[in-house]
Amino acid sequence: MKVAVMGYGTVGSGVVEVIETHEKSIKNRTAGEMLEVSHILDLRDFPDDPHADLFTKDFNDILNDPETKVVAETMGGVNPAFDFTMKLLEAGKSVVTSNKELVAQKGLELLKAAEKHGVNYLFEASVGGGIPIIRPMAQCLAANNIEGVAGILNGTTNFILTKMIEDGMTFEDALKLAQDNGYAEKDPTADIEGFDACRKVCILASLAFGKHVYPNQVRAEGITKITLEDVEYISSAHGVIKLLGQIKKIDDDKITAFVSPAVVFHGSQLASVNGVFNAILVRGDAVGDVCFYGAGAGKLPTASAVVADMVDCAVHVNRRKNFGWGPGSEDYVVDEKSALEMPFYVRAKATESEAVALFHNVKFLTRTGQPSDEVAFITDSMTENALDKKLAGVNVINKIKVTNY
Amino acid sequence: MKVAVMGYGTVGSGVVEVIETHEKSIKNRTAGEMLEVSHILDLRDFPDDPHADLFTKDFNDILNDPETKVVAETMGGVNPAFDFTMKLLEAGKSVVTSNKELVAQKGLELLKAAEKHGVNYLFEASVGGGIPIIRPMAQCLAANNIEGVAGILNGTTNFILTKMIEDGMTFEDALKLAQDNGYAEKDPTADIEGFDACRKVCILASLAFGKHVYPNQVRAEGITKITLEDVEYISSAHGVIKLLGQIKKIDDDKITAFVSPAVVFHGSQLASVNGVFNAILVRGDAVGDVCFYGAGAGKLPTASAVVADMVDCAVHVNRRKNFGWGPGSEDYVVDEKSALEMPFYVRAKATESEAVALFHNVKFLTRTGQPSDEVAFITDSMTENALDKKLAGVNVINKIKVTNY
């Protein structure tokens, strides 16, 4: 079967490589049919690439090729990826993607178009890189009411936090190291401010609870305010700080979904996820907690998920996979600050007796070189709004959510 | 769609419960069709059960009901489950199962029969309870050459080892506690001797590498020889002892597959899997390591996997899922003792200088109250046969494989 690849960057070139190097495993899944790359769309020139004869700068070459039935979109960004994908689906071609931004912003419209035209729009690679999560979650969904999802969804920030926790590096030094290693972009904003994780939360939330959640409905707080002092305090309580995307069902018509640093205690499967790895924990009423771990990014891991989706499309030509969701609404995602109760880590310029006076029951934390006018503690469970009210007159240095995953 | 359940034990009764309590999530996956239990086959009487009118002791009631298209086999054991399953497949009904013994012993014949009759034989619940592993692995396979698989596949032994490691309980006390908690049978042999894990290794190996592996081809060593002294020595090297099923590709025509205690170092995703939980790590050439974690047994987790398979059959009536494998052969699984090199933990009545004389480069371990004539160490990588040759004249107390997962 002829397939095309749009976008020959890290993931796209990996897709071509995986297709070429995994003929046997692909044929095992397709009952003998090979995927054959007919076109590679990219505006750049790759004069030394062995696939020179496959390159095109004209999208219509793919759109108008009746033999090309499956297309991998690995361009990233909403435009022109949305326009291209829509035209391909309308032309009766299946599309698979690693483009989390597009799925988070436009997934609903693209899934509806795929349904209307009897083709598939698959996006396993858009969350967790090579980790199988979209299908397993859809599978869990068949016999579970999902109660919540929590994930370490961004490898760059997890690498930085791991270096801070394990090697005592400052945030700035760890970010520099991530950039030197190619784990972080020159402009790291999307990673360190939590925007990348936010898009993945949207996709997981949409899938888990059946209604589209958009990035502007999900508060994203990054890791730039985390200091080594916070790391050390939390370590004294046998915990680590992770950037978590969390989704929780409130009732049949409401969820919360947010990205923030969170205290995870040792014993949680999420606490031992280190370096650039990702993990997604799904909590179902029948199955309990299941957790999926692996490389959340990278050329070949992500490409292998894209190619697995292409194989699935090849096997399911003229048959629909039943993944998707319906429309969301503005008031569907409620503010976790009022809807959720949880403990909080608080670090402040204050005394222990002031902390006790405000919160009654707290667990104090310690660090080396702790100034006499600084206090750090973990509160009982409460809403963040209630916490903020109590802290109104206090000189707070940092506060971090404590997760129950 | 009408479905039947054969075997109303823990899992079977859980299947009926999950079907009844998850109408909405099931309908979401089946485009609105409900699963309706038509028959429950069990030789026992359940006079107080609310499903009294559904019980039958006659298998033919299910076989001859043209409306019942999908059957869950949760009886366990090879007979009569094999005979019943074969007859159902031949009659054009899909069968799903949690019966690892049957899949490990007779999976090939049943998969072939399903293929021949255009129906499905699915077995997600046979490995890892509620953890989605069979489909995700099949999915990874599409774009990866699997290099190896390692899993904590038995919750009972993992519970016992966790109690030994974390609470310093003896093996005997921990086994007793497992029995008191209902995690271990009165006759715990199948768990503690590794036979249960062995069957799951057979299923995973058959799926990962495409040829049926039978239980008699997989060496199973249990945990009965593990002592608190071993636990403490290995703890001093930042490791834990886990009962692992391991499968490794040797070349295109050979694998190794075995169950044994293994030293897992902290930092591995398998090291933090505690209590009755299971985890399966799959190593692919493109995706790297992916790991799946969750409840490996229990009524509702396992039942949720069975029901998810039933839903999949209901969605795929008259369509085949492409899971399966071909025939194996006697010499396909080779002895890991000669085929694999790895480090070993050795504990012996000997001196450090004797250990160095035999192995040159070793890492010595320590424990409190270590007798002066006892030594424990970790060797360099070598085959177990080479190790045993070196240890021929030594008074060995215990030796344990060290895993590279």
pLDDT digits (tens, 9 = 90+) for B17-65: 999 999 998 998 888 899 999 999 999 999 999 999 999 999 999 999 9
Catalytic residue among B69, B200, B399, B401: B200
Distance from CA of A21 to the nearest CA of B (A): 9
Predicted pLDDT at A356: 97
Predicted pLDDT at A339: 96
Over pLDDT 90: what percentage of chain B?
A: 93
Q: Could you tell me how many helices (H) and strands (E) chain B has, helices first?
A: 15, 18
Residue with tokens 């010595």: B364
**A321 interaction partners in chain B (CB closer than 8 Å):** none
Query: 10 Å Cβ neighbour count for A58?
Result: 10
**At A15, is the pLDDT very low, low, confident or very high (cuts 50, 70, 90)?**
very high
Indicate if the alpha-carbon torsion angle B7, B8, B9, B13 is positive or negative. Answer: positive
**At A89, is the pLDDT very low, low, confident or very high (cuts 50, 70, 90)?**
very high
Predicted pLDDT at B322: 67
**At A32, is the pLDDT very low, low, confident or very high (cuts 50, 70, 90)?**
confident
Cβ distance B272 to A269 less than 8 Å, yes or no, reads yes
Window from A192-196, A255-259, B182-186, B282-286 with minimum mean pLDDT: B182-186
Predicted pLDDT at B274: 96
Residue B128 annotated as lining a ligand binding site: no
Write down all domains in chain A, each with its CATH number in brackets. 2-129+299-315 (3.40.50.720), 134-295 (3.30.360.10), 342-402 (3.30.70)
Residues within 8 A of A (CB atoms), B 345-404 only: none
**B26 interaction partners in chain A (CB closer than 8 Å):** 142-143
DSSP B221-273: --STT--HHHHHHHHHTTEEEEEEEEEEEEETTEEEEEEEEEEEEBTBTTTT-
pLDDT of B139 over the 90 cut: no
Q: Could you tell me how many helices (H) and strands (E) chain A has, helices first?
A: 15, 18
Q: Determine the average pLDDT of the residues in A329-352.
A: 97
pLDDT of A317 over the 90 cut: no
Q: Which residues of A are catalytic?
A: 200
Half-sphere exposure of B120 (CA within 13 A, CB side): 24
**At B148, is the pLDDT very low, low, confident or very high (cuts 50, 70, 90)?**
very high
Query: 10 Å Cβ neighbour count for B337?
Result: 16
Predicted pLDDT at B31: 82
pLDDT of B317 over the 80 cut: no
What is the crossing angle of helices B299-315 and A134-141, to 10°?
100
Distance CA B348, CA B328 (A): 39
pLDDT of A232 over the 80 cut: yes
Provide the residue type at A66 as one letter: P
Q: A274 and A300 in contact (C-beta within 8 Å)?
A: no
pLDDT of A321 over the 80 cut: no
Provide the residue type at B293 as one letter: Y
pLDDT of A278 over the 90 cut: yes
Q: Which of B25, B143, B273 sits opposite A18 (nearest CB)?
A: B143
Q: State how beta strands A344-349 and A374-378 pair.
A: antiparallel
Distance from CA of A392 to the nearest CA of B (A): 40
- B324 CB near a chain A CB, below 8 Å? no
Phi and psi angles of residue B123, each rounded to the nearest 5 degrees, phi first = -145, 35
**At A139, is the pLDDT very low, low, confident or very high (cuts 50, 70, 90)?**
confident
Over pLDDT 70: what percentage of chain B?
A: 100
- Residue A100 is classified by DSSP as H
Residue with tokens 């924990």: A281
Residue with tokens 């009746």: A66
Provide the residue type at B328 as one letter: G
**At B324, is the pLDDT very low, low, confident or very high (cuts 50, 70, 90)?**
confident
Average pLDDT, rounded, for chain B = 96
Q: What is the pLDDT of residues A348-400, one digit of tens each?
A: 999 999 999 999 999 999 999 999 999 999 999 999 999 999 999 999 999 99
Distance CA B260, CA B388 (A): 16
**At A300, is the pLDDT very low, low, confident or very high (cuts 50, 70, 90)?**
very high
Distance CA A283, CA B177 (A): 27
Residue of B nearest to A281 (CA): B293
Predicted pLDDT at B237: 96
* Three-state SS sequence of B39-56: EEECCCCCCCCCCHHHEE
Predicted pLDDT at A322: 67
Residue of A nearest to B209 (CA): A25
pLDDT of A172 over the 80 cut: yes
Distance CA B241, CA B162 (A): 9
| Chain A interface test: which of B25, B146, B270, B307 (most A C-beta within 10 Å) | B25
